[in-house]
Amino acid sequence: MRETAGLPRRIIKETQRLLAEPVPGIKAEPDESNARYFHVVIAGPQDSPYEGGTFKLELFLPEEYPMAAPKVRFMTKIYHPNVDKLGRICLDILKDKACTRLYATSNI
């Protein structure tokens, strides 16, 4: 992980855990110049219309994280009822005022 000065300890620990214990089918790496910004690649789930696909996303942890959800956007074009034409994920849990529970990057 690159420059971590000024980052909350929680983001540093979650990023270290994400890099040490990657989620199967998901590759997430922090950007070299901004540790709040992640480059993500997801493999299409087996037994789904997306099987065999590779999908690039961007994920940004706002200053308010973990009290505010990360900003997530598909960079790969995808047709899905919960993804708009700009690649934004349209789920209440990822909306700004959806809930106040804490988010963990491994659960997004």
Asked if 90 is an active-site residue, the reply is yes
Query: Alpha-carbon Rg of the chain, whole angstroms?
Result: 14
Active-site option among 90, 93, 98, 99? 90
Residue 103: name the closest of 61, 75, 69 by CA.
Answer: 69
Cβ-contact 91, 82 below 8 angstroms: yes
Return the percent helix, strand and coil in the chain, to nearest 5: 15, 25, 60
Where in the sequence numbering do the catalytic residues fall?
A: 90
